[in-house]
Structure formats: structure tokens, C-alpha cells
């Protein structure tokens, strides 16, 4: 059971409530190898020194831990004050200024690395929708797949040069989505051919550039899977991302506490479905309370479900191999 708990725990990337220090429960789980890492928000940030102490507290317990943040620029930033501020990707894209965006990514990465944060959840690979009120509009560089693919390639190269891991998001692409997955299930009527010929191009470029992770989002696209959200779809995760695009790295969910998921599934059901679909890392924006119980419950489920055991083992092995590769490059 302990081995299973460690394997499962390594799949969780979790946030915690507003405090500048590592919660005791997270410290305990890290010490037992039952937590893969943390994701930080504005509520966890006071200043650079506090941030360094927080990340050091994580790596002192478990060196191979993801310490993630969404520091995209524009409205999607978690750390301000001591960090440089930059406009959104759409700002640079509308001005045909790729170098402006790359400068932003570079300066942000250079500021992040000495703080101990090792994963910035960029680049955004979605194509820009026409509607400026669309949930993803300001976070996207361009509606042109080739332009987005080009800037994504540069962003990943930049992150690698600066020693920060990246995550291509939000697969299979939100340009055609109706609805905001933060609150409701987003739905797309786009055909499979349209996804493959347009939306996938930036993800293909990210994969070719060696991006460490791809994030799947809570999108319902009947052309890809009429029965499941992308987050819970074996057809999309295995069929499209693994097989069609050839991605061999880590697949992370979007926040499983977003309304699109939380309004339908319990945390246990959401995690189990994501695991069975092929996700390696389960992202929860705030799971300080209940994480140990969640791990325990899924482990009990696995005792009578060999397929679930095998899936957990598969992802745990992929995560372990990932960290071994990271050590080889240090």
C-alpha cells in the first residue's frame, strides 16, 4: 500500500490556502514521497525572500518536486511587486512583436529561477479567437497557427536556456470553445480535421522543441470524443496526443477544481477518471484539506481494480524517468 501511495502521490500537483509558508500537511506528504509538487498563486507570495524560503522548504524535503506557477504576463500573473510586468501575449501578437514577448519570457524566467520555482505553465498554444470577450483571447498570440507555432518554439527554447521547465496548454485547443471551463463545460463543434490542421500545429511545434509537459483542458469536442471531456478522454490523450502527435512527456490536467469538473464530479471521481484517461499529473488549485483522504480513497479503489493500479504505475514510472533525465542535464 505504501508503494502505491507513493506512486499515486507523485502524480499530485497542488496549491494551498493563503499563507506564505508550506503547510504542515504538505510537508508530511512530501516527506513520505506522497506529493509531486506545489502550484503557487498570488495568495502564497509576499516577496522574493519569502518565496525563496518557501521553495527551499519544499526541495529540502523532496528535491524532485515540481514548483509551478502561471506567470504568463498580462492579467495572468501570480507574482508582482518584485517581478517585471509585461503585457499579454495578444498585445505582442497584434503588434507583430515576437521579440517583445520573448524578452518578457526571458526576463520572467531569469527572475523565477533563483527563487526556486522550476516550472512556468507556459506557453499558451491556443489560437486567438475572434471574440475579445472569449476566455482565452488575451492569453493567445495570434489566430494564425503558423505564427503561434513559431512563437511557441521560441518560448520553449528561451525557457530551456534559462533553466525553467514549460508546459504547452490547453490541449486540444480552446479557440473554438463556447463557454469558460473555469465555470462550465466548454464545448467545441470543430471537426477532427480542423483540430489536426489548425489547433494542433502549435502543440506539434512545442513537442518538437522538447516541451516537458502538455496540459489537457476541460473541453467537450464531439469530433474527438463524443462521450468525455478531453481531461477524461483516452481517445484524446492517447489517440490524439500520444499517438497522433507523438508526445512522450508528462501530461497534466488543467485544474480539477474548475467548475467544468467540480460541478459534475467529486475530487475522487475526477482524479480517477483523469488517471484512467492517461494523465500523469493531477492539478488541484487548492487541496490542502482532504488530499491525504483523497489519496487513501483512490488507493482503496485500486485494490480491486488492476487497471487503475497499472495506470498509476505507468505514470509514476514516467515521472521517475523524467526526474532522472533532469538530473542527467544538471
Tens digit of each residue's pLDDT, the chain (330 residues)? 568 999 999 999 999 987 788 999 999 999 999 999 999 999 999 999 999 999 999 999 999 999 999 999 999 999 988 888 899 999 999 999 999 999 999 999 999 999 999 999 999 999 999 999 999 999 999 999 999 999 999 999 999 999 999 999 999 999 999 999 999 999 999 999 999 999 999 999 999 999 999 999 999 999 999 999 999 999 999 999 999 999 999 999 999 999 999 999 999 999 999 999 999 999 999 987 889 999 999 999 998 999 999 999 999 999 999 999 887 665
Residue 127 to residue 136: CA distance in whole angstroms: 9
Peptide bond into 123 cis (omega under 30): yes
pTM: 0.96
Q: Find the catalytic residue in 199, 254, 255, 280.
A: 254
Q: Find the catalytic residue in 27, 46, 64, 182.
A: 182
Q: How many residues does the chain have?
A: 330
Residue 129 to residue 144: CA distance in whole angstroms: 10
Annotated catalytic, 254? yes
Looking at residue 152, its pLDDT comes to: 98
Looking at residue 20, its pLDDT comes to: 86
DSSP labels for 277-313? HT-SBEEESS-TTTHHHHHHHHHHHHTT-HHHHHHHH
Annotated catalytic, 27? no
Q: Which helix (H) or strand (E) holds 69?
A: strand 66-69
Give how far Cα 239 sits from Cα of 84, 87, 176, 243, Å: 40, 36, 20, 5
Beta strands 66-69 and 37-40, pairing class: parallel
Query: Across the beta sheet with 12-14, what order do the strands follow?
Result: 250-253, 213-216, 165-171, 119-120, 66-69, 37-40, 12-14, 282-284
Domain 2-325: CATH superfamily is Glycoside hydrolase, family 3, N-terminal domain (3.20.20.300)
Where are the chain's structural domains? 2-325
Looking at residue 326, its pLDDT comes to: 84
Looking at residue 80, its pLDDT comes to: 86
Residue 17 to residue 20: CA distance in whole angstroms: 9
Residue 217 to residue 191: CA distance in whole angstroms: 17
Amino acid at each position: 500500500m505504501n508503494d502505491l501511495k507513493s506512486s499515486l502521490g507523485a502524480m499530485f500537483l497542488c496549491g494551498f490556502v493563503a499563507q506564505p509558508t508550506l503547510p504542515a500537511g504538505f510537508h508530511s506528504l512530501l516527506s513520505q514521497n506522497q506529493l509531486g509538487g506545489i502550484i503557487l498563486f498570488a495568495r502564497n507570495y509576499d516577496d522574493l525572500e519569502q518565496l525563496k524560503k518557501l521553495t527551499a522548504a519544499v526541495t529540502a524535503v523532496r528535491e524532485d518536486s515540481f514548483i509551478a506557477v502561471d506567470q504568463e504576463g498580462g492579467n495572468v500573473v501570480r507574482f508582482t511587486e518584485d517581478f517585471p510586468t509585461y503585457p499579454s501575449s495578444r498585445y505582442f501578437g497584434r503588434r507583430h512583436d515576437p521579440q517583445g514577448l520573448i524578452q518578457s519570457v526571458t526576463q520572467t524566467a531569469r527572475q523565477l529561477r533563483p527563487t526556486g520555482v522550476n516550472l512556468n505553465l507556459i506557453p499558451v498554444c491556443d489560437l486567438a479567437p475572434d471574440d475579445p470577450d472569449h476566455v482565452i483571447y488575451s492569453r493567445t498570440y495570434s489566430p494564425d497557427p503558423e505564427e503561434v507555432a513559431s512563437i511557441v518554439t521560441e518560448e520553449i527554447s528561451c525557457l530551456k536556456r534559462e533553466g525553467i521547465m514549460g508546459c504547452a496548454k490547453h490541449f486540444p485547443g480552446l479557440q473554438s470553445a463556447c463557454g469558460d471551463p473555469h465555470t462550465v463545460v466548454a464545448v467545441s463543434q470543430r471537426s477532427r480535421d480542423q483540430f489536426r490542421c489548425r489547433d494542433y500545429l502549435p502543440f506539434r511545434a512545442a513537442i518538437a522543441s522538447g516541451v516537458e509537459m502538455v496540459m489537457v483542458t476541460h473541453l467537450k469536442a464531439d469530433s474527438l470524443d463524443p462521450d468525455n471531456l478531453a481531461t477524461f478522454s483516452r481517445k484524446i490523450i492517447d489517440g490524439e496526443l500520444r499517438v497522433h502527435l507523438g508526445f512522450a512527456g508528462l501530461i497534466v490536467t488543467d485544474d480539477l477544481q474548475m467548475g467544468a469538473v467540480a460541478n459534475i464530479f467529486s475530487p475522487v471521481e475526477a482524479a480517477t477518471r483523469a488517471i484512467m484517461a492517461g494523465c500523469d499529473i493531477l492539478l488541484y488549485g487548492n487541496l490542502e484539506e482532504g488530499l491525504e483522504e483523497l489519496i487513501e480513497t483512490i488507493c482503496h479503489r485500486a485494490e480491486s481494480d488492476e487497471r487503475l493500479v497499472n495506470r498509476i504505475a505507468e505514470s509514476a514510472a514516467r515521472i521517475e524517468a523524467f526526474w532522472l533525465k533532469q538530473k542527467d542535464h544538471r
